[in-house]
Amino acid sequence: MSKLPAVGDALPDIAMTLPDGSSVKTSDFLARKLVLFFYPKDDTPGCTVENKDFSALAGAFDAAGTALLGVSKDPPQRHQRFIEKYALTAPLASDAEQGGLSDALGIWTEKQNYGRTYLGMVRTTLLVGPDGRIARVWDKVKVKGHAEEVLAAAQAL
């Protein structure tokens, strides 16, 4: 089991792929607050609610000087279909490469379900300060009310 990132840790600068095929790195957000929300899979019930909630609050995050970026291992084309299906406005990135950001942070890890062991994404949200250091960590996130809680923390930072 990997160790999750801690408050004060520097965020690794690892590239991910956006739905249009371009890449984004965490350093692209320096000098601005960033919310990275890691979720298991596009178009599943909890992940859809989480993405819709962050999208609904995108304007408020922007007003708080905070960028949003949803991250999963789904390929860019799947992200694009997911965005279009639900009119999502929170940007999504594909972290499909082995050794990617979720691997480096210990968020892509061994999970167990009904006695089966597999690798999967632990629903985790990071609030990163403008200095590129982690200011807050939410792990094993429960979706209901989560986006609002993260917004309040971003506004207070």
Active-site residue list:
47
- Contacts by residues 61-66 (CB-CB < 8 Å, ≥ 24 positions apart): 61/35, 61/151, 61/154, 64/33, 64/151, 64/154, 64/155, 65/32, 65/33, 66/32, 66/33, 66/34, 66/35, 66/127, 66/154, 66/157
C-alpha dihedral over 72, 75, 77, 79, to 10 degrees?
Answer: 0
